[in-house]
Amino acid sequence: MSCDKVMLIRHAERPSPDKRFRGVNLEGRKDKESITVRGWQRAGALVRFFAPCDDRFSHPALARPRALYACKAAPEDPSLRPRNTLIPLAELLEADSGVELNGDYFYGEETALVRQVLAAPGPALIAWKHLSMHIIANAILGDEKTAPQYWPYERVDLVWIFDKQGEGWRFTQVPQLLLAGDLADVVA
C-alpha cells in the first residue's frame, strides 16, 4: 500500500536574528538550533491539529499521520527545528499507534525523501525548511506549476496537502490558525 496523502509543514518559529526571541531545547535551555518558546507552543498545538481526540479535524483535507518525517541535522546545517516541531506529535502517535519520527534525510535530499514517503503507507506528515518546500511539492506533483514555487520566510502557519487522485495529485493549502497572529490567507 502506498501513500495517498502527504501533509507538508515548515518547522515552527525560529530564533530572531536580533536575539529578541531565542531558541530553546526541550528542557528549556538556550539553543540557537532549536525553536523558540512560541515555536514549542505551536508544536504542542499541532498535536491536536493532526490528531484530534474525536477525529474531527479543523479542515476536511487533514488526517492523522501514520508516518512522520523531519529534516535531519548535519554538521554544516545543524538546525533541530524540523525535528523539534514534530516531537510532541511523535510522542503521542508513538504511544497511541507506534508511529515513529523518521529523521533520515538531510536538507538537499528532498527527492529521495519523497520517494520513501510515497512508497510507505500514509497519510504522512513532513516538517522541513522553507527554502526547499517547493522541491518536495514538485516531486510529489510531478510538475512545477501546481504548487507555489516558494514558501514565505515568515510563514510557519500553513499546511500544504497533497491527495492522491487516480494517477495524479490534488494540492490544497490549509492555514493552521493555531496561535494569535496566524494568518488565514494562503500562498499565491
Q: Domain of 13: which CATH number? A: 3.40.50.1240
Q: From CA 42, how far away is CA 178, in angstroms rounded?
A: 7
**Domain-embedded: residue 70:** yes
In this prediction, residue 128 carries a pLDDT of 98
Q: Give a yes or no: residue 187 inside a domain.
A: no
Q: Compute CA distances 102 → 38, 52, 91, 135, 180, whole Å.
A: 24, 22, 13, 19, 30
Number of structural domains, the chain? 1
> In angstroms, rounded to a whole number, what is the distance separating the alpha carbons of residues 56 and 166?
26
- Has residue 182 been placed in a domain? no
Can you list the residues of the chain whose pLDDT is less than 50? none
Structural domain includes residue 181: no
Q: Is residue 180 part of a domain?
A: no
pLDDT of residue 119: 95
pLDDT digits (tens, 9 = 90+) for 128-137: 999 999 999 9
**Domain housing 78:** 5-175
How far, rounded to the nearest angstrom, does the alpha carbon of residue 101 sit from its chain's CA centroid?
12
Is residue 120 in some structural domain?
A: yes
Q: Would you state the pLDDT for residue 169?
A: 97
Write out pLDDT tens, residues 161-171.
999 999 999 99
pTM of this structure: 0.97
The answer to whether the CB of 140 falls within 8 A of the CB of 115 is no
Residue 54's Cβ-count burial label (10 Å; 0-12, 13-18, 19+) is exposed
Is residue 23 included in any domain, yes or no? yes
Amino acid sitting at position 84: N
Q: What dihedral angle (degrees, nearest 10) is formed by the CA atoms of 127, 128, 132, 135?
A: -30
Strand ranges inside the chain, DSSP E: 5-10, 67-70, 101-102, 124-128, 158-165, 168-175
162 belongs to a structural domain: yes
Give the per-residue pLDDT at 1. Answer: 66
At 103 the three-state DSSP class reads coil
One-letter amino acid of 75: P
